[in-house]
Amino acid sequence: QKEVEQNSGPLSVPEGAIASLNCTYSDRGSQSFFWYRQYSGKSPELIMFIYSNGDKEDGRFTAQLNKASQYVSLLIRDSQPSDSATYLCAVASSGGSYIPTFGRGTSLIVHP
């Protein structure tokens, strides 16, 4: 059973701070890692993906992958109230036919 674990939160940060969201996974053969954002009452949307160890930056978002430790994280710099949402981590491997397994998500609240 492939597992993807996230702290459900809520994680509360002040506006302008760095929000750090973490995700651990059980399958060492995992190869693709995704972060989806889901606003309340809406559907998930992809914001970042990463395949290689290290950091990947896109605007205010940075995804960090450490395969040896089996964790992936998402950093949001200069957090804005509009970043308040649930962030879902998804992990895919060849053993799972590359179909992502989703974590249950971390709720982020950015307060003014």
Partner 1 sequence: DAGVIQSPRHEVTEMGQEVTLRCKPISGHDYLFWYRQTMMRGLELLIYFNNNVPIDDSGMPEDRFSAKMPNASFSTLKIQPSEPRDSAVYFCASSFLFDEQFFGPGTRLTVL
For binding to partner 1 (CB under 8 A), which residues are involved?
Answer: 32, 34, 42-46, 49, 88, 92, 97-105
| Minimum distance from residue 63 beta carbon to partner 1 (Å) | 14
Provide the minimum distance between the beta carbon of 56 and partner 1 in the complex, in angstroms, as a whole number.
Answer: 15
State which residue, 63 or 92, has the beta carbon closest to partner 1.
92
Residue 13 vs 88, nearer CB to partner 1 = 88
Query: Considering beta carbons, is residue 37 or 79 the nearer one to partner 1?
Result: 37
Peptide bond into 10 cis (omega under 30): yes
DSSP string, 17-84: SPEEEEEEES-TTEEEEEEEEE-TTS--EEEEEE-SSEEEEETTEEEEEETTTTEEEEEESS--GGG-
